[in-house]
Structure 1
Amino acid sequence: MRRAASIQLHPEALRHNLSVARRLAPAVPMWSVIKAEGYGHGLLWAAQALADDSDGLAVSQVCEARALRAAGFEGALLVLQGPRDLSEVHACTEFDLQPVLHHSAQLDHLEAASVVLPVVWIKLNTGMNRLGFEPAQAPKVATRLQAAGHGQGGLHWMTHMACADEPEHPQNARQLDAFATTVAAFPGHRSVANSAALFAGWGRGGAAAGEYWGRPGIMLYGAHPASVPAEHLPEGPDGDLRPAMTVQAPIIATQPLAPGSTVGYGATWTADAPGRVGIVAMGYADGYPRHAPSGTPVLVNGELCPLIGRVSMDMLAVDLSGVPAAQVGDRVTLWGEGLPVERVARAAGTISYELLTRVADRLQPGN
């Protein structure tokens, strides 16, 4: 059953934010990352908004790529986790996918499938220790693939930065050096730059040789990467990023508050002056973070107001003292236009990625 809370999606914001990525790395081709249901915005919706302006679309899994092909998307598709079994290897050939190979088990699957993949990306583990071949394995992996005929249309290389959202972290230099040194002996494209690495200026991976591809993700949806300190870099619209999602819900009740009145479960918030509370039809069952503390900002009639008390399953309370004209039926912005999602995430002790991807599907599309 759909809720009174709603999500408004802004496709023009995605395209604008992709243009920001291109300004950060001029002349660098861009994979627009739409994994995890387009970071919670919808896989097909994100693809429709971005396909014409992107050099290719990137997803995590083969099943996502299948859905895009079934929906009629014909452009380049990168599968970041590569094939998991023989059937997915065959799908890579059937649907003309560009898989990222990161483990020897995938090489075994390729041999067992007896197929040839025209374009292949090899992921190197330069310090993230999540996915990827060790740099010392690169010659052996490349030789094994080429001997089987793979990569005749391109054998390319990528890695993932562990600390790109902290540009001064020494891990970054180690990873960039390891990657550049390893791939120097090989032809093909390179890719190191997710959103954080693009903001850090590493669209070309710190090296001039070879064609580098960017992989913008979270920034496409209007949020700066996790852990960017607010005092160092601007956020949301102030950083020339536009939110692609606005989450709103109506005020469904108001209550007068006398000094000493408490609000919500556990009576964790107490009024210290006369005031008024607004009850908003949004809660943790809708994807709002239950652990958001009192003081987390919301937007009521264009004014910032603090959340007060504990978030309930499908309601939350806000202090309306600063907006005396607010009334039942007024819509409250939980994040989006006018209130960057990372500001809410920071107040709640989480990251924008989590908020965007956890909004429950019982919220209805807005107008």
Structure 2
Amino acid sequence: MARPLRADIDLDALRHNYRLAMELAPDSRAVAVLKADAYGHGLVPCARALEGLAPAYAVACLEEAERLREGGISAPIVLLEGIFEAAELERVEALGLWMAIHSDWQLDALLARGPGRPIPVWLKVDSGMHRLGFPPERVEAAWRRLAEAPAHACDLHLMSHFATADAEDTAYFRRQSALLSELAERLGAPTCLANSPATLARPESHGAWNRPGVMLYGSDPLERDNAASRRLAPVMTLRSEIIAVRELPAGEPVGYGGRWVTPRPSRIGVVACGYGDGYDRHAVDGTPVLVEGHRTALAGKVSMDMLTVDLTDLPQAGIGSEVVLWGRASNGEVLSVDEVARHCDTISYTLLTGVLPRVPRRYHGAPGNAPDPR
């Protein structure tokens, strides 16, 4: 019998979340962000599920774009970090990719390229995130160079990234937004600015394109949820089973280091899932878990292949009982990956992208059960 741990991927929920992104910004197009193996959900199956809905996809690097093309995806693909060396331009053109340009060397490499098809370019502005992008005072010169080289670049857009679109305090967001609005108006430039939190909560930032990422997978990126984010549906359910039960008296330590001690006579369930699967070792005692759709909690440190949960108040639970680490249980109860992440002192992005390859993905819903290409 196979180990019971698996990640169930609900492709209908993925499509629901993409439609929500479109509904929130009816005058924009939404590029579906699929970087980091579609946030751990499976790059090609998620891309296939969005065919016919998403007019374009976005990834971090050429290798991810190549996997999509090899998987039969023909829609435009944006390289969000552009190229990493000039030699990649040949593949960018051959694969029909779009690319961000965030630095002088990338701009020089594109304009020095020999004859070929012009490449759609999203010029990245450092509006305050201070990672990638041209400083605002140098954007116009870079834009003019691209606009004056139609044999090399086409379909120009301004692109930037918000540092605090998820926060309740909007002061820094407003500062970035005002700078970008002024630049776009001066250049007559279409924009791609809104990430997931801005798509959900900052309609003033919606441009020709938006970039929904983690929201597509059902995670709420907002510091405080809103009516839109409460409509997100979980896409991944990390699901396992109870594989052993221990009956312990009060005062017994459980797990490495004896961090958790039974406060009363207790039933402890052992679950086939651990940090070797990607479940966060930093999860504290009390981290929520669903057993047969009922909430209980982690009891003791996470091991490599197992973790332990308190079954004392769930007398019906035993060996073979369904365990949901995050996602939707069979009875419909949902445990948000965002709630689990808070107990691990991290964010949902790290949990979702951290599910390791030994955990099989099982795909459900439209457009049918897609095979796991890994």
For this structure pair, what is the TM-score category when the shorter chain's length is used for normalisation?
Answer: over 0.9
Structure 2 Cα separation of the partners of residues 301 and 70 of structure 1: 40
> What is aligned with 2:366?
none
Q: Distance in 1 between matches of 2:152 and 2:173?
A: 29
Cα distance in 2 for residues equivalent to 1:252 and 1:139: 62
Deviation at 1:88, TM superposition (A): 1.4
Matching residue of 1:129: 130
Amino acid at match of 1:97: L
Q: Share of identical aligned residues, percent?
A: 39
- Contact 2:289/2:325 (<8 A) preserved: yes
Amino acid at match of 2:161: H
8 Å Cα contact 2:97/2:119 also seen in 1 = no
Taking the aligned partners of 2:124 and 2:266, their CA distance within structure 1 comes to 57
Q: Where in structure 2 are the equivalents of 1:230-269 lying within 5 Å?
A: 232-233=225-226, 239-269=230-260
Taking structure 2 as the reference length, the TM-score comes to: 0.91
Alpha-carbon distance between aligned partners in 2 of 1:40 and 1:289, rounded to the nearest angstrom: 14
CA distance in 2, matches of 1:145, 1:233: 40
CA contact (8 A) 1:235 1:340 kept: no
TM-score (norm 1): 0.92
Query: 1:63: which partner in 2?
Result: 63
2:182 corresponds in structure 1 to 181
Structure 2 CA distance for aligned equivalents of residues 148 and 26 of structure 1 = 32
Change (3 A) 1:366 1:138: closer
Task: Please name the residue that 2:308 is paired with.
Answer: 317
Decide whether the 8 Å contact of 1:154 with 1:188 is kept in 2.
Answer: no
Separation in 2 of the partners of 1:288 and 1:201? 32
Match of 1:77 in 2: 77
Which residue of the other structure, out of 275, 284, 295, is the alignment partner of 2:275? 284
Change beyond 3 A, Cα 1:277–1:97: same
Contact between 2:147 and 2:154, CA under 8 Å: does it hold in 1?
no
Deviations 1:163-219 (A, max 9, x none): 0111423111110011111121223420111111112223x527xxxx521110000
**Which range moves more in the overlay, 114-123 or 3-12?**
114-123
Tell me which amino acid in the other structure corresponds to 2:118.
L
Closer, same or farther: CA 357–125 of 1 in aligned 2, 3 Å: same
Whole-angstrom CA distance in 1 between matches of 2:240 and 2:228:
23
1:359 Cα deviation (Å)?
Answer: 0.5
Q: Distance in 2 between matches of 1:5 and 1:142?
A: 50
Judging changes above 3 Å, is the alpha-carbon distance between structure 1 residues 151 and 51 closer, same or farther for their aligned structure 2 residues?
Answer: farther
Structure 1 pair 329/234, CA: closer, same or farther in 2 (3 Å)?
Answer: farther
- How many residue pairs get aligned? The number is 356
Contact 2:241–2:320 (8 Å) recurs in 1? yes
1:40-119 maps to which residues of 2 (within 5 A)?
Answer: 40-115=40-115, 117-119=118-120
Q: What is the deviation of 1:113?
A: 2.7
Partner of 1:171: 172
Distance 1:175 1:145 in 2: 23
Q: Distance in 2 between matches of 1:110 and 1:153?
A: 12
For residues 228 and 134 of structure 1, the distance between their equivalents in structure 2, rounded to whole angstroms, comes to 28
Structure 2 residue 229 is matched with structure 1 residue 228: no
C-alpha distance in 2, partners of 1:364/1:188?
A: 44
**1:153 deviation in Å?**
3.8
Q: Distance in 2 between matches of 1:234 and 1:259?
A: 44
Report the equivalent of 1:32. 32
Is 2:168–2:223's contact at 8 Å kept on the other side of the alignment?
no
Moved more, 117-126 or 302-311: 117-126
Q: Pairwise CA RMSD of aligned residues?
A: 1.8
Following TM superposition, by how much is the alpha carbon of 1:27 offset from its aligned partner in structure 2, in angstroms? Answer: 2.5
Instruction: Name the counterpart of 2:160.
Output: 159
Question: Is residue 78–residue 99 contact of structure 1 (8 Å, CA) maintained in 2?
Answer: yes
The CA deviation string for residues 85-138 of structure 1, in whole angstroms up to 9 with x for no partner, is: 122111221111110100111012213432553411101000000011011111
Name the structure 2 match of 1:19: 19
Distance 1:79 1:251 in 2: 42
Is the 2:146–2:153 contact (alpha carbons within 8 Å) kept by the matching residues of 1? Answer: no
For residues 190 and 150 of structure 1, the distance between their equivalents in structure 2, rounded to whole angstroms, comes to 22
Instruction: Assess, with a 3 A threshold, how the Cα gap between structure 1 residues 341 and 169 changes in structure 2: closer, same or farther.
Output: same
Q: Which residue of 1 aligns with 2:343?
A: 347
Q: 2:50 is paired with a residue of what secondary structure?
A: helix
Establish whether residue 294 from structure 1 lines up as the match of residue 289 from structure 2.
no
Q: Secondary structure at the match of 1:52?
A: coil
Name structure 1 gaps, 5 residues minimum: none
1:145 and 2:146 aligned: yes
Unaligned runs of 5+ in 2: 329-333, 364-374
Match of 2:320 in 1: 329
Distance 1:188 1:70, change over 3 A: farther
Which whole-Å CA distance do the structure 1 matches of 2:305 and 2:194 have between them? 39
CA contact (8 A) 1:235 1:342 kept: no
Going from structure 1 to structure 2, the CA distance change for 1:365 and 1:36 (only over 3 Å counts) comes to closer
Which position in structure 2 is the counterpart of 1:273? 264
Shift of 1:62: 1.5
